[in-house]
Chains A and B, each alone.
Chain A
Amino acid sequence: MSTETKPKAELYKRVDALWTTVRDQFAFLRQDPMAFAGMLVVGAFVFLGLFGPYLAPHDPIEHTVRGDGGSVLRLAAPSVDAFFGTTAYGKDVLSQFLAGARPTLIVGLFGGLGTGALGFTVGVVSGYYGGWVDELLMRLTDLTFSLPFMPMALLLLTFMTPNIWLITAIIAAFLWKMPARVVRSEVLSVRERTFVKSARASGASDLRTMLYHVAPNVLPIGFLYTAYGVAWAIAAQASLAFLGFGDPTMTSWGRMLRQVFASGNMRVAWWWVLPPAIGIAAITTSVFLIGRAYEEVINPEIQTDQ
């Protein structure tokens, strides 16, 4: 056996072990009714994000719903012409709702992944090396803690045209601090364990030790915070869109709420308010409920901050 294949075999073994863990977690989540309900909602949401725009009966922005007489239906209550009613501009709410899931999914998924990956890397490196590396990285997280997210994001989006990837990047750039700190404190305790010490004593490189011995042991908490990152990203994106700083080319749930709010039709058009509002509330809550159930598995004594 060459020296090349050994780490590979080791890697497969680890991936296999990881897969078993994932299956176990899944089985566990099915037992918790709230987490299970959360999973169903997340599943439905992913489906909407992937296929929603194709399911939409009309173009969410271009198409105008017309009644029998040919006149544009404005602020029409749900009917056979438009199942979810129409907006003040005569647009189909159902189509907007279906199409609006996609930007929410994109920002949630990539914002969450970015948050988790960035925070995980910073946390592992910072905790593993300690010393000035740790000091530098932790001061950097302090800095992102000190720059208030909302105002800074609003400022940045004023001088750059908002688009969905920019918003994703801004969210990840501000939110990685949370997983970074938690992962770092986990690494600090893992670092002192015997198998890590023996790995280093037997001459393993820093990178190898970090990758094979430290990282897998803090991976669950990294996943957990990635999941929370998804919920934070969705909430942040919806909030920005509601304030009028969303991607102007895409229909999103946050933007729908902005339009119904800004047009002053919130009082009458409940059919225009409820779909996007319930959509956002359901998805963020579901992710958090799954996270909470999961958190109890990883560490029953863990404390939630932020």
Chain B
Amino acid sequence: MTKFQRFLLKRLAISVLLTLVAVSVIFVVLRLLPGSPFEALVTSGNLNQEQIDEIRAMYGLDQSIWVQYANYLGSLLTFQFGYSILRSQPVWDVLEPRLINSLILLVPALVTTAILSSLLGMYAGWNRGSRLEKFSIVSTTLLRSTPVFITAIFFIIVFAYNLEIVPALGMRSIRATPDGYIETFASLDFLHHYLLPFAVAVLYYSGDFLLLARNGVVEKRGSEFLKLHRAKGLTEMEQLARAGRNSMLPILTYFTLRLGMIFQGLILLEVVFSWPGIGRELVLAIQQQDYPLVQAAVFIMALAVILANLLADVLYAYFDPTVSTSGGGSA
């Protein structure tokens, strides 16, 4: 077994273990919640004891906590999250379209911002001390440190309310009744609703990539290999391209980490824009105490983080073997 394979195996084992701990924490937290979503049903629904028992049995709540835990783990492994209590629908049927809605907003935004702001950051870093560098750093610091919902509110007020260029809420206009994903997303109406949240997401994430790229280039500027390139007579831009290529690794790993964490920033973005995604669904499900829906949504979010961390570590170790492969994932 090579050193890299050993590292990979260890990192995988850690990820599995972390997933197990994470889902257990979710399970425990949910069991600790006072009251249950059934109480509302029971008090309002005029159910008799028999019917109550039947419902509890249906959701497995009459079994011992260990059996419930085992069932819970089994259900997560097979992605069978059970039935949503308030929507009377399988949880996955509720979550799947919302997950798609979330990804369609965030993945293109993240890719766009990673490319654009990295390029801008490299250029800014190359021209260290210039007005462009100062301006880009201050403006992206403003955008990345301000909570995303506040940026979103400002954008809504300016572009939706005052200039009336784009709608403030939702993903499609209320009257639209699209059928299937292609009809939903391939329309001008969707694009119209898409612009504002997309722009806010791009701007919100731009700061990290810009700083990362800028720092990378600043670091490389004085290094020997660039002196060699200059001596070889490469133009400024060609030198920058080489310095930039050498700062790609942190950007790449950071991109994977961000990809795993997108759902978190997304919760607020989706609530402000009433975007029917997984984050907004989670907030609604928590308010309605819809356990199965909550645990599935949180599980998906935790899984995304764990997988992205794993991928980032592996990428780093693979592309840069000088970074300790023995460190076990704390890259």
Contact = CB atoms under 8 A, between A and B. Distances in A.
A30 interface: no
Interface stretch (B49-57, B69-77, B139-147): B139-147
Interface stretch (A54-62, A90-98, A283-291): A283-291
A154 B286 contact: yes
B14 A148 contact: no
Contacts of A147: 22, 25, 302, 305
A148 B141 contact: no
Question: Interface range on chain A: under 10, 10 to 19, 20 to 34, or 35 or more?
Answer: 35 or more
Nearest to B134: A34
Contacts of A301: 215, 218-219
Interface string A224-257: 0000000100010011001110000000000001
Contacts of B18: 139, 142-143, 146
Given A148-B305, A292-B137, A304 B142 contact: no
Interface in B274-302: 279, 282-283, 286-287, 289, 294, 297-298, 301-302
A280 B150 contact: yes
A243 B286 CA distance: 11
A291 B229 CA distance: 34
Contacts of A243: 267-268, 271, 283
B174 interface: no
B261 interface: yes
A135 interface: yes
Interface stretch (A73-81, A189-197, A205-213, A266-274): A266-274
Interface string A164-193: 000000000000000001001000000000
Contacts of A159: 29, 32-34
Contacts of B22: 143, 146-147
A242 B147 CA distance: 10
B302 A277 contact: no
Interface string B124-144: 000000000010011001101
B328 interface: yes
Nearest to B156: A266
B94 to A, nearest CB: 16
Contacts of B302: 146-148, 151
B177 interface: no
Nearest to B303: A146
B153 A261 contact: yes
A68 interface: no
A142 B141 contact: no
A142 B147 contact: no
* Candidate in A151, A181, A280, A289 with the most chain B CB atoms within 10 angstroms: A151
A266 B149 CA distance: 13
B235 to A, nearest CB: 26
Contacts of B26: 155
B134 to A, nearest CB: 8
A285 B141 contact: yes
B201 interface: no
Nearest to A185: B330
A146 B142 contact: no
A281 B146 contact: yes
Nearest to B137: A292
A141 interface: yes
Contacts of A28: none
B47 interface: no
Interface of B: 14, 18-19, 21-22, 25-26, 29-30, 32-34, 134, 137-138, 141-142, 144-151, 153-154, 156-157, 161, 168, 208, 211-212, 215-216, 218-219, 250, 254, 261, 263-265, 267-268, 271-272, 279, 282-283, 286-287, 289, 294, 297-298, 301-302, 304-306, 309, 328-330
12 contacts: A142-B14, A143-B22, A145-B305, A146-B18, A147-B22, A148-B263, A152-B29, A155-B26, A267-B161, A301-B215, A301-B218, A304-B208
